[in-house]
Structure 1
């Protein structure tokens, strides 16, 4: 299976997980000149910009969230907020998707 197809499956699982935990999925695969936001969801009036990482193991997936990845994601988020004229509280979350399950890490920073 191709990497993109695996990513799509992980994102589908991630959206189902978020919905089951009280989030409303607003958008997916949002692109701008700085990068991509995998999932944008809302819960309790807070926007959650969700990075989905999948791999064979938790460690392998979580290690793919680097400082440069977060910087790029931050620029992408700021552009999204400006384009949509949004002034809401937000955080960056990660969903680590493995064959054994999904781990949700809220409000990630490095």
Structure 2
């Protein structure tokens, strides 16, 4: 059984993908994993690959989304992107 956070996270990823497709992106992969690294969404638009970290909140104070991705997470995303590109 999925937790409340997993359900909210999946809903957020679904909404993010719908938004990105509406902006002309093609979804390449979702929840791509390599070892302990994960990328929520990988898209392609105009021959540019986009690595997307989705942050979903169900309420409370809103802060800029980028404030929720710290330096360690950014480093993991870069490593994951490099692994994806092979």
1:16 maps to 18
Identify the match of residue 47 of structure 1 among 46, 49, 53: 49
Distance 1:60 1:2, change over 3 A: farther
Identify the match of residue 76 of structure 1 among 80, 83, 86: 80
Q: Normalized per residue, which structure has more helix?
A: 2
Q: Normalized per residue, which structure has more strand?
A: 1
1:49 Cα deviation from its structure 2 partner: 0.7
1:37 maps to 39
Deviations 1:14-44 (A, max 9, x none): 0000011111111100011241100010100
* C-alpha distance in 1 between matches for 2:30 and 2:5: 17
TM-score by length of 1: 0.68
Residue ranges of structure 1 left out of the alignment (5+ in a row): 83-110
What SS is found at the alignment partner of 1:38? strand
The count of residues paired between Structure 1 and Structure 2 equals 82
Identify the match of residue 66 of structure 1 among 65, 70, 81: 70
1:62 Cα deviation from its structure 2 partner: 3.4
* C-alpha distance in 2 between matches for 1:17 and 1:66: 24
